[in-house]
A and B are shown apart, each in its own frame.
Chain A
């Protein structure tokens, strides 16, 4: 029988896991794996910088709700991945990062392109492996996919020395089930706590549901909609929970938090029952103390027991898969006497006037996002970057079945463009649009070449105010208008730049014009970049 090597085993494992695409950048220490991929049928997307391979895998994983794979070589290739891995960790995105490593004999000698990547990623991987024996590869791969995708999802790193990839092994056997003694995530919620939660829901006069990213990760959109319908409770969302509730539904009050809707914050502050679902009470979403009333009853549903009680007190903790728990809650939930409360929050919502009006001298970004939403398909995916563009998008994007992807936890600039490429590859039939500022754009614009090379119809909107807008705003408020390092002098002509990559581009200097170009962009078959001239004075909120 022909013996196969470690790299070929890695590829067979990926095939067993249904992996059809790998985002990466090769180097000497990962060459055996690249050789095995070459004619495996797995598509390889060559990025221009390793960090973006992780972001693409993130966009891909989020769109398909299953782990995606990125790869890099040892040393600098691996260290470049770190920001992408950390970004995925903070948002609980299941990615598998495979890195090459120097040979076992060279390990620990500060060899050329050696980096202790498992050590460096210790605090932002869910788990990591340094594989020293070819016989361990199938077990490690099985465990990695299981760990990444179950319980609270997250990135798993597999570091494999070149010689282990080359080592010959006998038969390939892929374990059917992983067997990890210390890893058994809880799935069903405790019946007693569910009963208590149902009682609290019936007794509440001013209940509110806070929908977090955990609901998206658990694929529990339908369950959430049913629970909200049966319980009657109005809903607010964290940034990561945007898109779960149809944005037009009357009891959906929008995003809470530091950059959220004021009435959504007001509603959660006035509630006598707060039902946190898959929300980790991060400081930007729920600033404690104060955001939730002292006397309010708090129900916290989360698959990660460590999130419960981490940042705030909880009265009724329910550890379990959000989908299973919401199913159980929806089945028996009955509203109490909440009509007056619903009237109050509906009035909050009715009296809200969106910020920002169309302009003709600049593109007003907030009203532009609303206009763009109206042009987009109902299930469009909007991928937003970080900074002012993130908040403009999060507050004004409104889609019935839409998805909103962003780096909410780590707040990584440069995320949108590569994540949008990953999302589009995952969902070629859906509209995918990336929105970023001129700062973030320049952190990952090299990936335009990846989009072109792979024939991906990347739709990109750049809000160009020639500033690092959000930092500048902080400087205006807290540092006496001293704009230290926030003016992006030296920006190139972005239209020409995109065109140089072979991407048609246009620059809009007013909302009417921007929407015309947006329409053109959404209807074009290929990639398209819309550069919007934005007034640097435009506020974030």
Chain B
């Protein structure tokens, strides 16, 4: 079962390594992890997407709570709706520029760089949409791709 956790932590050195080493040593996998500031400059917000059964998810939450600089752990979707978003940058061969442009327009992505041989496309959307765009672009010769971890927030 896929789960998304948002973890509020004190903004101090070493917190990220404490969180990551917890996942590593207890054998929990992380699909993606994103860290950034929150509305409070003293607090950072981590979004962790992982996979595990109910027992593992419960342990992950409890073990995270034991880390002293961890202030709050919330499992998104447990109570109410949430929205999530990833950022993707794709550098692609531009021989089929018209067709690529069509896909870019269809997906509401954005061309942010053009050279003689390549196009760079920026896209923000949930994980599935990023996957869709990626597979649409793939046949045209992707040269490089950079993807961020997912960030998420409750909407209710």
Taking Cβ atoms with an 8 Å cutoff, the residues of A that contact B are 118-119, 122-123, 126-127, 130, 147, 180-183, 304-306, 309-310
State how many angstroms separate the Cβ of B12 from the closest Cβ of chain A. 10
Kindly list chain B residues whose C-beta atoms are within 8 Å of the C-beta of A123.
21-22, 25
State how many angstroms separate the Cβ of B32 from the closest Cβ of chain A. 22
Kindly list chain A residues whose C-beta atoms are within 8 Å of the C-beta of B59.
306, 309-310
* Chain A CB within 10 Å, residue with most, of B14, B18, B66, B71: B66
Give complex CA distance A304, B14 in Å. 23
Tell me if B110 is interfacial: C-beta within 8 Å of chain A: no
Kindly list chain B residues whose C-beta atoms are within 8 Å of the C-beta of A182.
9-10, 67-72
**Cβ-defined partner of B68 (8 Å) among A122, A147, A304:** A147
Give complex CA distance A210, B63 in Å. 24
Q: Are A306 and B10 in contact, with the CB atoms below 8 A?
A: no
Give A118's nearest chain B residue, CB to CB: B14
Q: Are A181 and B71 in contact, with the CB atoms below 8 A?
A: yes
State how many angstroms separate the Cβ of B145 from the closest Cβ of chain A. 32
State how many angstroms separate the Cβ of A181 from the closest Cβ of chain B. 5
Question: B29-48 vs A: 1/0 string, CB under 8 Å?
Answer: 00000000000000000000
Give complex CA distance A305, B60 in Å. 12
Q: Are B62 and A305 in contact, with the CB atoms below 8 A?
A: yes
Give B20's nearest chain A residue, CB to CB: A122
Kindly list chain A residues whose C-beta atoms are within 8 Å of the C-beta of B67.
182
Tell me if B155 is interfacial: C-beta within 8 Å of chain A: no
Residue pairs across A and B with Cβ atoms less than 8 A apart, 24 shown, are A118-B14, A122-B21, A123-B21, A123-B25, A126-B68, A127-B68, A130-B13, A130-B14, A147-B68, A180-B68, A181-B10, A181-B71, A182-B9, A182-B67, A182-B69, A182-B70, A182-B71, A183-B68, A306-B59, A306-B62, A306-B63, A306-B66, A309-B58, A309-B59
Give A124's nearest chain B residue, CB to CB: B25
Q: Are A305 and B65 in contact, with the CB atoms below 8 A?
A: yes
Give complex CA distance A126, B63 in Å. 12
Kindly list chain A residues whose C-beta atoms are within 8 Å of the C-beta of B13.
130
Taking Cβ atoms with an 8 Å cutoff, the residues of B that contact A are 9-10, 13-14, 17-18, 21-22, 25, 55, 58-59, 62-63, 65-72
Q: Are B25 and A119 in contact, with the CB atoms below 8 A?
A: no
Give complex CA distance A237, B67 in Å. 29
State how many angstroms separate the Cβ of B27 from the closest Cβ of chain A. 12
Kindly list chain A residues whose C-beta atoms are within 8 Å of the C-beta of B55.
309
Other than the given A130-B14, A306-B65, A309-B59, 10 more pairs (CB < 8 A) read A123-B21, A123-B22, A123-B25, A182-B9, A304-B66, A305-B65, A306-B59, A306-B62, A309-B58, A310-B59
State how many angstroms separate the Cβ of B24 from the closest Cβ of chain A. 9
* Chain B CB within 10 Å, residue with most, of A147, A180, A182, A309: A182
Kindly list chain A residues whose C-beta atoms are within 8 Å of the C-beta of B9.
182
Kindly list chain B residues whose C-beta atoms are within 8 Å of the C-beta of A181.
10, 71
Give complex CA distance A488, B11 in Å. 52
Give A143's nearest chain B residue, CB to CB: B68
State how many angstroms separate the Cβ of A434 from the closest Cβ of chain B. 32
Give complex CA distance A532, B62 in Å. 47
**Cβ-defined partner of A122 (8 Å) among B17, B58, B63, B65:** B17
State how many angstroms separate the Cβ of B150 from the closest Cβ of chain A. 23
Give B68's nearest chain A residue, CB to CB: A127
Q: Are A122 and B18 in contact, with the CB atoms below 8 A?
A: yes
Give B66's nearest chain A residue, CB to CB: A306
Give complex CA distance A122, B24 in Å. 12
Give complex CA distance A194, B14 in Å. 39
Given contacts A181-B10, A309-B55, A309-B58, contact A119 B66 (CB under 8 A): no
